[in-house]
Chains A and B, each alone.
Chain A
């Protein structure tokens, strides 16, 4: 039956992530953004909670838990509530792991999963987005051509999270007109990884351009080998994940605005006592809830083994637009103080823009 209440396990996961966020991420978020760097110990703490590898079978080095899109959404919302850049950095390896688990052959899983399922945080990542206007997966320009029993990849990717530290990168390319994924070692002579990109938001997140020039990949490294991957399924999961993170940013802005509206006094009373401000806060409240419910709906369908192409797309679209609107309201409620980098609202505003366009990463 339908239920809006979390189970004990779901509550536990939420609480454990919330605690790391409260104790470590939120207090460090400002400094991480200024320094453009995330302290290794905080990432490691999250890694130990199993953000990326808990659902990898034990045989491949994971904890052997069942993969749950709903639990995943709950965890991602909490992390992004703390800081979006942190959330993406901490979970970047799952961008590599999840498609591998879903579509990799036994041989591929055996070969690659243990390389990321370690006690220490380590990275392999996913490269989908390309640097041109109106990018989406259906119009991807990177190509894979079969030549003498291997594939030759050509194209450019951008916003590839943590690419500079990656051992392997799953690269999306058009293979006979269909998007497919290829495992490319960062050591492959045909791949070059740029300096860190400089972005509008997510200062603390390392992202890179990845260029593939006649990059030769053995046929056995096409994910799923002969079967290939169902890109729509991959998009569904990543879209749900992105929506969950957008919900986290929106909630962070909402909570800041709610607090500020009760503290800031003008004209002899709290600004929240005026409807013009109060109604914005009210809207932030129910729109954040709407984002979460849409995310959970798509996640629930995935959890029940259903196709959620429509629901995931709607959740993502809603999350992209609404997180931007909510963060905009948030800055407005704080006035000039919302515009100053000393306050976290300014960071949310920049970070939310990234979410809205990042489908893209087709994904995160």
Chain B
């Protein structure tokens, strides 16, 4: 039965996570915006906490049983729990959230496809994800980093840019091709551990926002890794199913990015609201918006959009929890939240006037942080492309 009223379980998680974000992240948000590339030692308390819903230990079946089924209705699924948590964490600080140990994108990839043996070896490592190359951004199927089997080892060559957690991670999931001719079918992912000869962190970026998150370039120069470090099968299949399988992890990560955007936008709105209150500008939901000041009307409009971003995001996560295919909905929430998060934080900085520009406050920072949400994990345009192909029932050949 349709019921979009926020249940108490979610409110409880929200409150708890907001408390964590308010006490651990928000107080040092400015510090690490200014001290770019410095490791935020305050985040060490998260080690082993698993707040971000990393790899879960399988529950003993005997433990659950009948009761498990009965309770299922009242429990919140993992994906929904994650997006609720991510929103709160990013309300605290998005750059810092991206730096929470052992919660990298690589970890998500490993827990999705790794064998038991690989989970054993890599499960406790902080893993980044390296897909992007200088010549391959949105067109991730065109990457040119290569992997060749030589005896019991893979030999990797190439260069990866814009890797999140590049400095802080223990290992990187690297996308490479076994056969460039095979296109997407030839692309596989490999776990490369830090300290492997031929694997070097060449450079860290200086960025517009999320400066607390370290973004870097890796060079792979005849880098040899064990044969068993490939994720999934080494076989080049006739179809692109394998590549599509990898892309499926985006169905889980896109709602997370949407939730990040949501968290930042809400931070900006909460702050704006506080300042409006201080200035004696009350918000009024009964009066015709056209009879209110432009500032009030803008605020209501942003609030409505924030609600839309959240509901689209929760829907995508809820569908994943209920094992319903959500590729379309995941792209929808990412498209909406990526774009409107940016618009909201820009508008808040405008409404706030001098308070929106001064580095004494965080509004100018949220405006900078937010922009990345419309870029990584597939740009806004790429999300629109995916949605359009889906609703127009067109292939990637028909709609380029």
Contact = CB atoms under 8 A, between A and B. Distances in A.
A283 B399 CA distance: 16
A136 B292 CA distance: 11
Interface in A172-206: none
B49 interface: no
Main secondary structure of the interface of A (DSSP, over half): helix
Interface string B308-332: 1001101100110010000000001
Contacts of A270: 398
Interface stretch (A46-54, A106-114, A149-157, A299-307): A299-307
A289 interface: yes
B308 A294 contact: yes
Chain A: interface residue count, which band? 35 or more
B233 interface: no
A278 B286 contact: no
A298 to B, nearest CB: 9
Given A1-B73, A273-B398, A273-B399, A317 B315 contact: no
Contacts of A136: 286-288, 291
Contacts of A311: 307
A1 B75 CA distance: 7
Interface in A309-364: 309-315, 317-318, 321, 359-360
B264 to A, nearest CB: 19
A4 B7 contact: no
Interface string A1-43: 1111111011000000000000000000000000000000000
A70 interface: yes
B392 A278 contact: yes
Contacts of B239: none
A3 B307 contact: no
B318 A2 contact: yes
B76 to A, nearest CB: 7
Contacts of A89: none
B297 to A, nearest CB: 9
A297 B335 contact: no
A138 B286 contact: yes
A289 B288 contact: no
A235 B389 CA distance: 39
A2 B10 contact: yes
A297 to B, nearest CB: 4
B307 A279 contact: no
A297 B307 contact: yes
A249 interface: no
Interface in A210-266: 232, 235, 258, 261-262
A122 interface: no
30 contacts: A1-B3, A1-B7, A1-B9, A2-B3, A2-B4, A2-B5, A2-B76, A2-B318, A5-B1, A70-B2, A262-B394, A272-B392, A272-B394, A273-B400, A279-B381, A282-B384, A282-B388, A282-B391, A285-B387, A285-B391, A286-B333, A286-B336, A289-B315, A289-B332, A290-B336, A294-B307, A309-B285, A311-B307, A313-B286, A314-B300
